Amino acid sequence: MSKHSGDYRIFVGAFPTGPMIDRLQALRARHDPKTARITAPHVTLAGTYWRLGPAGPENEAETMARLGEAQAQLPPFELQLGGVRAFGWRVIYLAVAPTAELMAVRQTLLQAIGPDKHRHFTPHLTLTMRLNKQPSQTLLAELQRSEWHTGRWSMPINQLWLMQRGPDDPAWRYIQQIDINYGHDVV
């Protein structure tokens, strides 16, 4: 769907927390402050979906109900982060391993709220997406010589969030927490 006046977007994402994520957000703020302000570091698992009408949680009541029903089917998982890559030269990201558990969560989400835009899903955590070509290429080379490229981190995910952003919103907002340990043993 193309953007129309009044359209808004939603996605479901995993938002890891902790000291490493604080460092990652500082890196994002230093190199791409606009992206850092728009949303916290996350991995989009379903989305982004365009919706018609005004942005508000009430317009996502059906989606929220479906996600609530699906929550019992969401197995606990850990994000396996590490390695700096890029989509072309515009988007630099921290790679996320497409583990069986992560992909099972994604599949359950898609069954609950429908297919998204991804023909080939590449889980990732965006670092920058608003740099010009030369600064982006320079930063990519710098990051690929750093611990962000060589290090590996495992981060347990206890919940997902349904996020929403209208055309006049300065940032994404949290509209529903989805607990994923519900009915499952904790990893």
Distance CA 95, CA 80 (A): 8
pTM for the whole structure:
0.91
Is residue 82 left, alpha or beta, with left meaning phi > 0 and alpha meaning psi from -120 to 50? left
Distance CA 95, CA 34 (A): 21
- Distance of alpha carbon 176 from the chain centroid: 14
- Joined together, the tokens standing for residue 120 give 């080939």
Question: CA nearest 6: which of 166, 165, 172?
Answer: 166
Cα 147–Cα 149–Cα 154 angle in degrees, nearest 5: 80
- Confidence at residue 118, expressed as pLDDT on a 0 to 100 scale: 81
- Joined together, the tokens standing for residue 9 give 């977007």
Which residues of the chain are modeled with pLDDT < 50? 1-5, 186-187
- Confidence at residue 185, expressed as pLDDT on a 0 to 100 scale: 52
Determine the CATH number of domain 8-179.
3.90.1140.10
Distance CA 187, CA 184 (A): 9
- Confidence at residue 117, expressed as pLDDT on a 0 to 100 scale: 83
Distance CA 13, CA 174 (A): 10
Question: CA nearest 14: which of 118, 103, 112, 85?
Answer: 103
The kind and range of the H/E element at 127 are strand 124-128
Question: CA nearest 95: which of 144, 130, 139?
Answer: 144
Position 113, amino acid: I
